[in-house]
């Protein structure tokens, strides 16, 4: 039977994985500047810079995907509909009496994730991954322990 | 057989515990380096898989090879020896972390905190997928989670984190070394250290646990 903490733990694990890759990318970037011969294949220094720059955004997308999968699993176990993500968050907030602050914070992460995926011209507020993890875990904590 | 010597083994190994057969572990051994072999007409050969179900009863391992399609032949003894080593490490880790949760739960109750256990699923390259307990604690409005992270990290034989809930903010980490659990603080802005042993640490006890939580509450107030 799925339980709340399993999903929160998965969200946390993605954030920790980002920390691991952040350190690895930074080390690799520095090392390749000092010794470009460590770059294998056709890899270029500039590509490492771009990958490093986009790393946090990539993990924000994964973080939100983990959150959304868990939220949809709970929703599907209780209601026979397939709402859009914005409605999923609002629907859960209404049904689980999630405070407005937690609901709005989850939407901040969703909007930032959307901007990263769809490259919108209108840039929403940047949400650092540690903050995103905190917001999404907090929202998730209002779901029942098991379903 | 140790993990270091196992790296020299000729097999890729996976292990899992099926939901429907709790207590039984299924190990799959796949020989390394055979994927590139091709048979007549360049068709890749099927890679053999040696599958064995293992059950432990009264300290004795029972190996069931009835599920394998391929016969490991003379390697069977080597495979069983490796499984035995992994099962010992698995048992040690699960017992170590379960005992920790038992102990912390007792301290928490003595301190007047409410507690609830939750299950944590872990994946480990050496001992396979397994389940261990995690412990939710609450003192007034402050909630914490003691969550096992992993069996092995350089210099330690176990890592368990302490989080402030519900946001999963890091509070402290527990590392097992010197035959005991050691509590390491992770204060925001603290200077990173080369190894976990260099960070501020103290042996885990009811008093040190209470001290961490008290300082956290003071900081949050």
b/e map of B153-177 (b: 16 or more CB within 10 Å)? eeebbbbbbbbbbbbbbbbbbbbbe
Euclidean distance between CA atoms A130 and A132, whole angstroms = 5
**Residues B120/B87, Cβ–Cβ less than 8 Å:** no
Which of chain B's residues have a Cβ under 8 Å away from the Cβ of A145?
A: 118
Distance from CA of B60 to the nearest CA of A (A): 31
Cα nearest neighbour of A102 on chain B? B167
Return the DSSP state at A3: B
Per-block mean pLDDT, blocks of 10 residues, chain B (221 long): 56 86 87 66 80 88 91 89 94 96 97 95 91 94 94 90 93 92 74 62 92 79 59
Element (DSSP H or E) covering residue A90: helix A85-95
Determine the residue among B121, B148, B166 to mutate to test chain A binding: the one whose Cβ has the most chain A Cβ atoms within 10 Å: B166
* Contact check, Cβ <8 Å, B168/A11: yes
In the predicted model, what is the mean pLDDT of residues A37-66?
94
State both tokens at B31.
């020989």
| pLDDT of the residue at B47 | 84
Contact B166 A12 (CB under 8 A): no
Q: How many CB pairs under 8 A join A and B?
A: 37
Tell which wins on pLDDT, B31 or A67: A67
- Read off the tokens for B218: 């003071």
Q: Is B118's CB within 8 Å of A137's CB?
A: no
Quick one: pLDDT at residue A67? 98
**DSSP letter (8 states) at residue A37:** G
Q: Do A5 and B169 touch (CB under 8 A)?
A: no
Cβ distance A133 to B120 less than 8 Å, yes or no, reads: no
Q: In the sheet where B60-64 sits, what is the strand order?
A: B11-16, B24-31, B50-57, B60-64
Per-residue pLDDT at B11: 86
pLDDT at B38: 64
Quick one: which of A120, A63, A123, A114 has its CA closest to A85?
A114
Interchain CB distance below 8 Å, A12 and B134: no
| Residue bearing tokens 């903490």 | A5
A75-104 pLDDT tens trace: 999 999 999 999 999 999 999 999 999 999
């Amino acid at each position: 039977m799925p339980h709340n903490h399993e999903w929160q733990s998965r969200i946390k694990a993605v954030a920790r994985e980002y920390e691991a890759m952040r350190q690895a990318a930074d080390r690799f970037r520095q090392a390749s500047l000092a010794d470009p011969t460590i770059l294998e294949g056709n890899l270029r220094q500039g590509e490492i810079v771009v990958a490093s720059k986009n790393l946090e955004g990539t993990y924000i997308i994964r973080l939100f995907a983990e959150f959304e999968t868990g939220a949809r699993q709970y929703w599907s176990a209780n209601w026979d509909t397939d709402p859009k993500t914005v409605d999923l968050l609002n629907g859960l907030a209404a049904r689980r009496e999630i405070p407005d602050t937690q609901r709005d914070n989850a939407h901040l992460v969703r909007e930032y994730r959307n901007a990263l995926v769809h490259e919108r011209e209108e840039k929403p507020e940047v949400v650092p991954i540690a903050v995103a993890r905190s917001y999404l875990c907090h929202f998730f904590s209002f779901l029942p322990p098991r379903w | 057989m140790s993990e270091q010597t196992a790296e020299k083994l000729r097999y890729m190994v996976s292990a899992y515990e099926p939901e429907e057969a709790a207590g039984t572990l299924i190990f799959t051994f796949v020989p390394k380096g055979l994927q590139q072999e091709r048979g007549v007409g360049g068709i890749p050969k099927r890679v053999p898989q040696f599958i064995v179900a293992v059950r432990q009863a009264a300290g004795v391992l029972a190996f069931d090879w009835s599920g394998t399609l391929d016969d490991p032949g003379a390697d069977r003894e080597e495979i069983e020896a490796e499984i035995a080593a992994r099962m010992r490490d698995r048992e040690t880790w699960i017992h170590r972390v379960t005992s920790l949760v038992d102990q912390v739960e007792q301290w928490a109750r003595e301190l007047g905190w409410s507690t609830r256990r939750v299950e944590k699923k872990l994946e480990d390259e050496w001992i396979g997928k397994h389940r261990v307990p995690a412990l939710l604690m609450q003192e007034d409005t402050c909630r914490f989670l003691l969550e096992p992270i992993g069996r092995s990290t350089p210099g330690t034989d176990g890592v368990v984190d302490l989080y402030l809930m519900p946001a999963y903010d890091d509070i402290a980490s527990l590392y097992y070394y010197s035959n005991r659990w050691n509590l390491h603080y992770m204060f925001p802005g603290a200077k990173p250290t080369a190894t976990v042993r260099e960070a501020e640490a103290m042996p885990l006890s009811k008093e040190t646990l209470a001290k961490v939580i008290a300082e956290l509450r003071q900081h949050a107030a």
